[in-house]
Amino acid sequence: MFLAHARRDSELSKLFSGSDEGSFVSFSTGEGFQVQPDRLPESLISSAAMHVLLRSEPTSTVEALTEAVGELLARTRRLISGEREEALMITALGGLAVSPGVRIWTPWGDLRAATPTEQMWQPGERGPFARAPEAILESTVPLGARIGEAYPGQDDSFRDLTISTRILVGVERVSLAVLLAQGDARPVAPWWLWQTLIAPFGYEVSDNLVGRAFTFRALGPRRQPTPTTLTAEEQPTIKEWSERVEEHYDPAIDVAVRRTLSAVRERADSADALIDAVISWENLFGHGEASEVMFRVTAALAHLLEKDPRKRAKFQGDLKKIYGLRSRVLHGGEVKPKDDLEGRKEAAIAFSVRALRELFLEKPHLVAEKERGMQLILGTVE
């Protein structure tokens, strides 16, 4: 019955115009698949069921499913007619949880708890290094579709192959916002596990998980700490820091952010984490001539983080000890128990996070300023 009506429909009939194997559908995100006409009802119902599950709608009756089928059928017709639709991009996060029922808005998508269905999706790695997502970054992306074109060519008005990359950049911004929002608590920075597009029809999620789980042994934490859970009470703080990061972020601090996040969430080895954290210091405050980098970096950090001028000399001395230990580790020198590698690693990370927080909160005009270190030392900025 459905297929008979679909063959007479002005838009759906285009899916039946190909070979016996069906028509090829290209999405503007670069994906494509062969639509088998006799499986169209199954495809719509499967996509509708996925939408119901991801929305955590009731599954005890068929009402939610039938409504979703009607909605996706209408969206499918619009896509086939050449209109743009919005599709969900689901990005799974590790190291962070969100309380059930809570949705936290960010400029890059909504943070929410992972559904039971999403927790079952674990591409690649299995065994002790496998990780079910605790949180999801749910974004909407523009989606177009074309029928009968396996390779639409370089039509920039149709294809946008940068969507996934932009979403992953958003994940790093979310990680930074969450990290800076934690105050002086234990550093928390989520990382991405996998990503998938939820299209209106014909696109099997389980076959299209793009993830880093296959390299998780190298890139993810070897210990599996209990994730920090964001609650409804933390919504305003996360939202505020997300807006602040979005407004003031500049590529000038890319290295500092990347190395700070790496030190917090990826480095199981204390020496590696220490090196990453001090590289972050250097990116923030080490611009200029190659000489006296340690002095410039530690002096700038002391001016930024220690408000009492009388205490800056001692604070800078402590920073120099951390910096010196990092140099010894980096160049293969001996590290003795009295060097307190673990403690100084934790301090290095804390100072890196505090420096980023202070820049975004108190001195956002310096985020894009490459000579921010010298300006702080010379007192040419407030």
CA-based nearest residue to 87, from 60, 128, 118, 54: 54
Same domain, 25 and 163: yes
- Residue 240 in domain: no
- Residue 183 in domain: yes
Which residues form the domain of 256? 250-378
**Res 382: pLDDT:** 66
Same domain, 369 and 220: no
The Cβ of residue 298 has, within 10 Å, a number of other Cβ atoms equal to 24
- Residue 90 in domain: yes
- Residue 245 in domain: no
Same domain, 12 and 123: yes
**Res 370: pLDDT:** 85
Among 202, 230, 258, identify where a domain stops.
230
**Res 213: pLDDT:** 41
The pTM of the full predicted model, rounded to 2 decimals, is 0.86
**Res 198: pLDDT:** 82
What is the domain count for the chain?
Answer: 2
Same domain, 290 and 336: yes
In angstroms, the CA 174 to CA 185 distance is 17
| CA dihedral of residues 107, 113, 119, 123 (deg, nearest 10) | 10
Asked if residue 352 lies in contact with residue 256, where contact means CB atoms within 8 angstroms, the answer is yes
**Res 124: pLDDT:** 56
Same domain, 221 and 259: no
Which residues touch 338 (CB under 8 Å, ≥6 apart)? Answer: none
Among 199, 230, 261, identify where a domain stops.
230
- Residue 243 in domain: no
**Res 275: pLDDT:** 95
- Residue 238 in domain: no
Same domain, 40 and 132: yes
- Residue 93 in domain: yes
In angstroms, the CA 295 to CA 313 distance is 11
**Res 170: pLDDT:** 93
Asked if residue 114 lies in contact with residue 132, where contact means CB atoms within 8 angstroms, the answer is yes
Same domain, 102 and 160: yes
- Residue 340 in domain: yes
Same domain, 280 and 218: no
Same domain, 21 and 80: yes
Same domain, 215 and 291: no
Same domain, 82 and 32: yes
| CA dihedral of residues 17, 18, 23, 26 (deg, nearest 10) | -90
In degrees, to the nearest 5, what angle opens at C-alpha 346 toward C-alphas 125 and 377?
125
Same domain, 47 and 129: yes
In angstroms, the CA 204 to CA 43 distance is 9
In total, the chain counts a number of residues equal to 382
Among 200, 230, 260, identify where a domain stops.
230
Give pLDDT < 50 ranges for the chain.
Answer: 127-128, 206, 213-223
